[in-house]
Amino acid sequence: MMEQERLIWVAGLGLAYAGVCVAAWQQWRRSRRAASVAAPLLVAYASQSGQAEAVAQQSAATLQAAGLAVQCLPLAQLDVAALQQTSRLLLVVSTTGEGEPPDMARRFAANLATPAALGELQYAVLALGDRRYTPFCAFGHALDAWLAASGAQPLYPCLEVDALDDVVLATWQHQLAELAGLQDSALAAQPLLPAATPFASWRLQERRCLNEGSSGAATYHLALQPADGSVLPQWQSGDLVEVQVPAEPGRPREYSIASIPADGCLQLLVRVRVDEQGQPGLASQHLTCDLALGDTLSLRIRPHRRFRLADNATRPLILIGNGTGLAGLRSHLRARQQLAAPQPGWLLFGERQAVHDFYYRHELQALQQQGVLQHVDTAFSRDQPQRRYVQHVLAEQAERLQQWVADGAAIYVCGSLAGMASGVDAVLRQVLGEAALDELAAQGRYCRDVY
């Protein structure tokens, strides 16, 4: 009995001591955060399709409105020396490909191989990702681990955001409020993401199969108009649409827009996705088969800022893609066609067989005659015994590639991530050099819409 009482006392004292320690630690963290409220704050982002960028900019705006000195920069514009001059850093980064950094942050990511001396830095990471991909939020975690290994002190544990989960974004907002020395309620009214365009009803006006007789899955050209007859909304070449699938309204599917508003309708290039058991995918089946001409569907346009022409509008363009990837490239070609004297263009397109799968062949030939395209190189993988892909053509044209890049060209890649985009990336690295390609990505001259 005596022994038991003693044990209870000891356990009680231990718990009380632990409680005092936790309270003291929390007090210390609070005072440390409060003490540094006055220090300037850097919000840095790395984003592939614009979401992390939007969250970062809104976070910076929120802190600025609360009176803090804040700078918001792409990670591409930073190096270790810049971080050594920084006292507080908030990172908002996404993950792309299969656990890779966004293209714009590749050059910075090369730093992660070795720890730096960042003992003076306090930081927090908001890692955007999607649990359907593995590894989840890999780039955010890699940055977090590197900063910790470099001696930087976390202001908060790394936050993982699955598909822009509101609950986690609210936690981030709570942390921003704490850093700004504000009540949560003062920030709650400011959403971290700009309101997305609402879904609207669009009518299917035209649908054509582009690859009759193909050995691959059927691919269709679709044209759509606002169902209520209103004027077309504006978008830019390179943008995407999100389509609601009636059978699965919670998870919209993305499609690259193949037209520009001057075409008078929204055009898509959609391939039926079929799994190994022959089961078609929900959205692609709906768009290419279930939906009849004149039927409506719910979609919204999403700006894809990092795949727009933007500053590259006045540069020569190297457009590389396979299959439905031609959609995103075609919108850029349509935009170029509107110009009186467009800069040169070079298209590299890959599919299976020229006789069945050369989508928009006449249109591309016309663009060549008009001088919008100087070169159209194709790789039809099954037109010869040896498989031949777009990356092989690019490697054969190494000299031209170097010349075009030296002349200021921007490179746009659209289509399959596996096989095409990775193969093209390997050739670009080999021909242009690793550092030069990362530099092009950081400058926004290497842009990818790959899936």
Ligand X SMILES: Cc1cc2nc3c(=O)[nH]c(=O)nc-3n(C[C@H](O)[C@H](O)[C@H](O)COP(=O)(O)O)c2cc1C
Q: Which residue is nearest to ligand X (CB)?
A: 129
- In one-letter notation, the amino acid at residue 144 is D
Span interacting with ligand X, options 2-10, 31-39, 45-53, 383-391, rule CB under 6 A: 45-53
Using CB atoms within 10 A of its CB, is residue 314 exposed (0-12), middle (13-18) or buried (19+)?
A: exposed
> Is residue 92 within 8 Å of residue 193, measured between CB atoms?
no
Q: Does 417 bind ligand FAD (CB under 6 A)?
A: no
> Is residue 199 within 8 Å of residue 299, measured between CB atoms?
yes
Span interacting with ligand FAD, options 97-105, 129-137, 270-278, 438-446, rule CB under 6 A: 270-278
- DSSP conformational letter for 79: -
For the segment 314-353, give every residue that binds ligand FAD (CB under 6 A).
Answer: 324, 327
Q: Does 436 bind ligand X (CB under 6 A)?
A: no
Nearest distance, CB of residue 93 and ligand FAD, angstroms: 18
- DSSP conformational letter for 420: I
Q: Does 97 bind ligand X (CB under 6 A)?
A: yes
Span interacting with ligand X, options 136-144, 215-223, 239-247, 255-263, rule CB under 6 A: 136-144
List of long-range contacts for 431-438, beta carbons under 8 Å, 24+ apart: 431/394, 431/395, 431/398, 431/401, 431/402, 432/401, 432/402, 432/405, 435/107, 436/405, 437/106, 438/106, 438/107, 438/110
Q: How far apart are CA 355 and CA 113, in angstroms?
A: 48
Q: Does 192 bind ligand X (CB under 6 A)?
A: no
- With respect to ligand X, which residue has the nearer C-beta, 56 or 405? 56
Span interacting with ligand FAD, options 70-78, 202-210, 250-258, 405-413, rule CB under 6 A: 250-258
What's the order of all strands across the beta sheet hosting 240-245? 248-256, 240-245, 296-302, 200-209, 219-226, 266-271
Nearest distance, CB of residue 49 and ligand X, angstroms: 3
Which of the choices ligand FAD, ligand X, none does residue 47 contact, using the CB cut-off of 5 to 8 A by kind? ligand X
Nearest distance, CB of residue 61 and ligand X, angstroms: 17
CB atoms closer than 10 angstroms to residue 273: 15
Using CB atoms within 10 A of its CB, is residue 451 exposed (0-12), middle (13-18) or buried (19+)?
A: middle
Q: Does 102 bind ligand X (CB under 6 A)?
A: yes
Span interacting with ligand FAD, options 104-112, 269-277, 289-297, 331-339, rule CB under 6 A: 269-277
Q: How far apart are CA 278 and CA 220, in angstroms?
A: 18
Q: Does 98 bind ligand X (CB under 6 A)?
A: yes
Q: Which of 42, 43, 48, 245 binds ligand X (CB under 6 A)?
A: 48
Q: Which residue is nearest to ligand FAD (CB)?
A: 281
Residues 6+ apart with CB under 8 A from 370: 337
Which of the choices ligand X, ligand FAD, none does residue 96 contact, using the CB cut-off of 5 to 8 A by kind? ligand X
For the segment 370-429, give every residue that binds ligand X (CB under 6 A).
Answer: 417
93-102 burial, b for 16+ CB within 10 Å, e for fewer? bbbbbebbbb
Q: Residues in the site for ligand FAD, rule: CB under 6 A?
A: 240, 245, 253-256, 269-271, 273-275, 279, 281-285, 324, 327, 449, 451
Q: Residues in the site for ligand X, rule: CB under 6 A?
A: 47-53, 94-99, 102, 128-130, 133, 136-138, 164, 417, 451
